[in-house]
Homo-oligomer: A and B are copies of this chain.
Amino acid sequence: MNVILLDDTDFADTDTVHLSGRRVQHMNQVLACAPGDELAVGRVNGKLGRAKVTKISARSAVLAEVVLDDDPPPPLPVTLVLALPRPIVMNRLLAAVTSLGVKRIWLIHSRRVEKSYWQSPVLAPENIDQQFRLGLEQAIDTVLPEVRIHKRFKPFIEDELPGLIRNGPAWLAHPGDGGPVTERTGPQATLIIGPEGGFIPYEVDRFDALGVSRLSLGPRILRVETAVHVAVAEVGGLFK
C-alpha cells in the first residue's frame, strides 16, 4: 500500500477524512503512524496528495489537512480483452494489470473457458473492486478500471469488438505466429488473449475476419498469466 485511497464517503468535510478497516490496519502495522505524521493519499477517481494524521487508534483514524493537487499517472492506453482464466489466476491478474495502468478489462467467454469459472466468487463486484484497489494502492494511482463481462463469445465479437477496433489497432496474442507491434495509432489499442490452450480455430477466424492483427510473444508457449504481463506492457507501450 503505497498510497491510502480515500472515498467520497470518508470525507467529514473538504479536508478531513475518517478512516477504518484495512487502511487503519496498514497505518498501524506497517507504517506505525502517530499523530502528526504525513501520509500519501489519493481520492478514488480523483487527485493524489497528502494528509496529516490527527487521531489514530487500533480501529479508526482521522486525517486532516488533506491536500489533493497531483494528477494520477496517465492510463496505459490498452483495452485488455481476456478469455476468463481460472479464478486464482484471474484474481492475481486483476490487481497486476491495474498496477500496470490498464483501465479497461473485458472478460469474455471462449470454447476452452471452463463454464464453472463464471460462477467463481472472484468475479463478485466486491472482490473485483478490492483487487482493483490493491493494484491502485501498489501503483500510487486513483482511477478504478472498468470491467465488462461477456459470458457469450458471439455478442462480444459482433456487438462490442467492432467498436474497440475503431479506437486503434487490435492485437491477438496467439501462439505460433504473428509479429511485433508495428502501429501505435489511435487513442486506445486492444489486446486479446485467449484461454490456456488458445482460442479454437472458429474463434480465431472471427478475429481474423474483423482485421485483428497477430502479436508474437516469441518462440515459446507462455502461460496466460505470463502472456498478459508481457503483452500488456508491449501493446500498451509501457516502455515507449
Contacts and interface: CB of A to CB of B under 8 A. Distances in A.
A61 interface: no
Nearest to A236: B218
Interface stretch (A15-23, A93-101, A120-128): A93-101
A238 B226 contact: no
Contact of A220 (B100, B181, B218): B100
A88 to B, nearest CB: 11
Contacts of A225: 96
Interface stretch (A52-60, A79-87, A133-141, A201-209): A133-141
Given A139-B220, A140-B220, A220-B73, A100 B238 contact: no
Contact of A180 (B138, B140, B218, B240): B240
Interface string A196-240: 000000000000000000001111111101100110111000111
Contacts of A220: 73, 99-101, 138-141
Contacts of A101: 218-220
Contact of A218 (B2, B96, B229, B238): B238
A222 B180 contact: no
A74 interface: yes
B139 A100 contact: no
Contact of A238 (B76, B138, B217, B232): B217
8 closest Cβ contacts across the A-B interface?
A229-B229, A139-B220, A73-B219, A230-B233, A218-B238, A180-B239, A96-B226, A234-B239
Interface of A: 2, 73-74, 76, 96, 99-101, 138-141, 180-181, 216-223, 225-226, 229-230, 232-234, 238-240
Given A99-B221, A229-B230, 9 more contacts: A96-B225, A99-B223, A100-B220, A100-B222, A139-B222, A140-B220, A216-B239, A217-B238, A234-B239
